[in-house]
């Protein structure tokens, strides 16, 4: 692992779920450095190799960080942007629209309408089905060159948009964006798949970085 000055920073708002996630012993080996959106200094994420934007941050507080996050991408950082952070308003080339979610499809028998994409993509080494098929809070239209790993389809079988994509071609860095909210559900202790997505995303972000060091 990289040292704390250039390793992983976790941008959070101090919610119960975010603090519980940061206290998870399973994440201790990553040596994650918490940075609060209200009290943190922009310089704290300036040299980070991995920037995690925790889900459900207040838009008015997140706004002052977005330029710095984009600058991180430009210099080669890996950025994870989790759900309900209005990614379409500040990530270049990304469009986002809200969608009602199917919370308990495994109990009701409803079709979740989530479909895996790009089966040959190297990222599937890190993400199991359970990690990426649970729920969502909208659909994304990724920028050109990005790869959607999971699409939402309409009841008629028509593609509606992506709920998880990876962009490794738009700039020097790597970007993973999803409309799922794994930090909230992992820290709150409910929702099958949320923990797996959180762990898998961190594994993807750090394993590939270490391979190239």
Domains held by the chain: number: 1
CATH of the domain at 162: 3.40.50.880
3 within a domain of the structure (yes/no): no
pLDDT in tens, 37-83: 999 999 999 899 999 999 999 999 999 999 999 999 999 999 999 99
Residue 147 counted as domain residue? yes
Residue 1 has pLDDT above 60, yes or no: no
In a domain, 54, yes or no: yes
On whether residue 173 sits in a domain, the answer given is: yes
- The tens digit of pLDDT for each residue in 144-186 reads 999 999 999 999 999 999 999 999 998 899 999 999 999 999 9
d(CA 128, CA 91): 26
Residue 2 inside a domain? The answer is: no
The boundaries of the domain holding residue 32 are 8-211
Residue 6 pLDDT grade (very low, low, confident, very high; cuts 50, 70, 90) = low
């Amino acid at each position: 692992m990289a040292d704390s000055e250039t390793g992983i920073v976790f941008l959070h708002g101090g919610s119960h779920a975010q603090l519980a996630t940061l206290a998870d012993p399973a994440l201790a080996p990553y040596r994650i450095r918490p940075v609060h959106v209200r009290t943190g200094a922009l310089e704290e994420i300036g040299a980070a190799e991995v920037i995690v934007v925790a889900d459900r941050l207040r838009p008015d507080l997140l706004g002052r960080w977005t330029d710095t996050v984009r600058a991180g991408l430009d210099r080669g950082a890996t950025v994870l942007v989790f759900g309900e952070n209005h990614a379409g308003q500040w990530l270049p080339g990304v469009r986002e629209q809200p969608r009602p979610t199917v919370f308990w499809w495994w109990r009701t028998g409803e079709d979740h309408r989530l479909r895996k994409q790009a089966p040959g993509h190297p990222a599937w080494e890190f993400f199991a089905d359970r990690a990426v098929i649970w729920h969502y809070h909208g659909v994304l239209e990724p920028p050109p060159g990005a790869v959607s790993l999971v699409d939402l389809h309409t009841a008629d079988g028509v593609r509606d948009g992506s709920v998880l994509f990876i962009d490794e071609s738009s700039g020097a860095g790597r970007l993973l964006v999803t409309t799922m909210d794994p930090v909230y559900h992992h820290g709150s202790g409910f929702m099958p798949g949320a923990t797996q997505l959180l762990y898998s995303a961190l594994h993807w972000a750090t394993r590939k970085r270490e391979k190239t060091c």
